Structure 1
């Protein structure tokens, strides 16, 4: 079963997983695909690509650290689409984007970086859910919320703020499922290492790239990074009526990371200078 004729809003849609989720939603029959990001150029590219897949598209530039901009963006998209059936909270950032420090542990990460990651990865998920909820409750097309968590939120490994916020997203998803039941479903997925521009940038900035690659996807039983389409397929499934009896769950999309406690050697899958 495909997603079908739903009206979808996706955050963090300028590139990477967000862009691919938007494209896959269009391929699977979404009638309206609302897009938001802080990057206007990437957002415009995604908007054009979604239209090429046959769906109506609308990109709205918004800073997810601003509750005013979040609310305005959601009302804009819902007004344009005539309602809202699916909210995909995809936007997320890594600790390294907000600090020049090599270490991002609990005792080394600076407060501004902590606040920025929390604002985007967690608070924005709550605010978009809060402001989208009235539109979703009014939907008669199987409304649902799909949140992007991470295996980092299940293990505690890696960057302090990122891991903490992604763990919180899993719990927020469960609370959302309870609060919005029975009409609106809420689920999340937890990617392992996925080949995205953000992931490539993180790898390129590492002082020991092979060690970083091993830390990123050496835990995968399937010895590679996942693709953005593999994530998009899961996100669209959770948003579809095929998942109509699923709510409050977290789906690891992690190449088997959570199935074992091992580590294996890997090869770099990106060319770096």
Structure 2
């Protein structure tokens, strides 16, 4: 059974991706700081298809050792894919944040991706068949954001995706999913109303984007159907963002 690591797995897009991957036949190693969310996953999924880890990816010693520990401590012999979806947001102006809050956001939303990705690729680059990394970013990585930290880290994930597609080729593919406004996620209600209304006005597909719709794209990028794709950023935006 192919094993997939999903960070930020306890809610929103990460939870939807976890459910989709288990339903597709994968074994999911779900990591999050949300204890209650992980417990809810455990109650809803069969134990032989799910493994949970309560982790804080704002801590350097955690993200620098997490992948290695899956092999060396938890005895996983091989991992098929990594979905980088860990997130953190304080919902404040960058001018109002403390230095520690800024460092936490940089660590969770960008630095942890760098370490998790390189450690995964180092362990799996000699695998007999290709592996996949899927990074979750946002359309704000291209368009910009009033939240300076959020926009900067999302742009950084796009750059990291393209660089690592070169760094990890040919055995590890690296792609990103770039959603616009996604309902039923922890961050949705923190987006300013003016920004949400702007997305709504520009979209050309009316159906609201739900976490499950983003998970469908993640599942595609994990599959052999996307075997010719690497270094790509796929927008899930109802056609809105090219029109802004």
The TM-score normalised by the length of structure 1 is 0.81
- Distance (Å, rounded) in 1 between the aligned partners of 2:136 and 2:99: 24
- Equivalences for 1:53-202 in 2 at 5 Å? 56-78=49-71, 79-96=74-91, 99=92, 104=93, 109-202=97-190
**CA 1:110 to 1:224, structure 2 compared with 1: closer, same or farther past 3 Å?**
farther
Task: Provide runs of 4+ in structure 1 moved above 4 Å.
Answer: 107-110
Query: How large is the RMSD of aligned CA atoms in angstroms?
Result: 2.2
The TM-score normalised by the length of structure 2 is 0.90
Aligned equivalent of 1:230: 213
Which range moves more in the overlay, 193-202 or 7-16? 193-202
- Distance (Å, rounded) in 1 between the aligned partners of 2:119 and 2:210: 31
> Is residue 214 of structure 2 the alignment partner of residue 241 of structure 1?
no
- Distance (Å, rounded) in 1 between the aligned partners of 2:188 and 2:34: 18
Task: Kindly tell me the number of residue pairs found equivalent between the two proteins.
Answer: 242
1:202 Cα offset (Å): 1.7
- Distance (Å, rounded) in 1 between the aligned partners of 2:97 and 2:64: 30
- Distance (Å, rounded) in 1 between the aligned partners of 2:82 and 2:137: 14
**CA 1:80 to 1:158, structure 2 compared with 1: closer, same or farther past 3 Å?**
farther
Contact kept, 8 Å, 1:93 with 1:162, in 2: the verdict is no
Out of 225, 241, 244, the position equivalent to 1:258 is: 241
Aligned equivalent of 1:267: none
1:139 Cα offset (Å): 3.1
Cα distance per residue 1:145-183 (max 9 Å; x no partner): 000010011101231100010001001001111011111
1:15 Cα offset (Å): 1.0
- Distance (Å, rounded) in 2 between the aligned partners of 1:259 and 1:216: 11
